[in-house]
Amino acid sequence: MKLLLLLALVALAQCRISRVSLWRGKSLRQSLKERGLLELYLQQHPYNPATKYFPSLLSSEPLQNYMDNEYFGTISIGTPGQDFTVIFDTGSSNLWVPSIYCTSQACSNHNRFNPAASSTFVGTNYSVSIAYGTGSMTGVLGYDTVTVADIKVLNQIFGLTETEPGDFFYYSPFDGILGLAFPSIASSGATPVFDNMMAENLVSRDLFSVYLSSNGASGSFVLFGAIDYSYTQNGISWIPLSAETYWQVTMDSVYVGGQPAACLQGCQAIVDTGTSLLVVPNNILGTIFASFGANSNGQISCSALSSLPDLVYYINNQAFSVPPSAYVLEGNGYCSLAFQGMDVPTEAGELWILGDVFIRQYYTIFDRANNRVGLAPLN
């Protein structure tokens, strides 16, 4: 079978070389997919960012780890491209960046998009307004070419900010946000970037996967259209989505040290790369703190770290553990729990958020083809 695959690759490569000067043709990944060989190739050649096997097959966006608090990468918009750093956010669906129209202080120290400098920009009269757990923006919508990793998305709709109130975005090390959730929650009906990638057959599979490094280390990435099997040596647990809005799942319960702590009748949770901490409904926060022996502010004695239990989320009848080394924040001589209270109402009740503290423990696969999330333990 390996010989068959090799011959197919050689034939396809020769085919592409002979036509490169005449027409763009199908990409290598598209051709392998049509012949049913793509999955076999990816399994036999796990993606390695250091060697970049057949970069036309796989599109990896490296992310900068900013103090384990935010992860962002660089995209370009327009012709010629104007560069912006963005959060790749599975908790929202819109793409937006600061623009020259912006009058807020938050735009003064960030890159700003200039429509007049792009030959492919198309403006609209439509407005957009988005509120996040922290920060908000208002602006106008436009269309232009957006390049993410080596993927070029034509006529992508995006927001050009006019206001970014408050100081959250002023102090943020990134320029804007690229939402990777579902179209159903996109403001102003804007089509998300990944939906256009799928519609234009720019990815080999209708999924993307995320690795977030720990302790400020490098190596974090979003991989579009593929799974890096070198991160799945401990297996993948697949969880069906409970709603096609956020990347939302049904959680069975939450345990601390083998004892039930919350969500005993089930609850809804989202897997959100754009949230740094572990978020619980406000009325649950005190209960969570008490179950760890922390005070009402979530502070806990640093000397107790060695005896703290694992936090365990039960999802789809499977246990997903988060160790104390992940959920305890140390700094300035004191320790605190990495939980935040926030009410995110939905038809199914208040949402819990599994943010970066959780995702750092699992290589995470966001599968649009099957509407499921895959979690592969990293330890």
Q: Which residues are catalytic?
A: 89, 272
Cβ burial, residue 54 (10 Å; 0-12/13-18/19+) = middle
113: DSSP letter: B
Q: How far is the C-alpha of 46 from the C-alpha of 377, rounded, in Å?
A: 17
**Cross-strand partners of 139:** 128, 161
Which tokens is 15 given?
A: 């085919």
What are the distances in angstroms from CA 217 to CA 30, 156, 211, 229, 369? Answer: 34, 32, 12, 21, 31
218: DSSP letter: S
β-pair type (176-179, 82-89):
parallel
Which tokens is 289 given?
A: 């703190």
Residues contacting 10, CB < 8 A, separation 6+: none
- The percent of the chain in helix, strand and coil, each rounded to the nearest 5, is 20, 40, 40
SS3 call for 379: coil
Cβ burial, residue 215 (10 Å; 0-12/13-18/19+) = exposed
Which segments of 113-242 are extended strands (E)? 122-131, 136-148, 151-163, 176-179, 207-211, 220-224, 237-240
283 phi, psi to nearest 5 deg:
-75, -5
Q: How far is the C-alpha of 321 from the C-alpha of 377, rounded, in Å?
A: 9
* 360 within 8 A of 340, measured Cβ to Cβ: no
* CA geometry: angle 129, 155, 162, nearest 5 deg: 30
- R_g (Cα) of the chain, nearest Å: 22
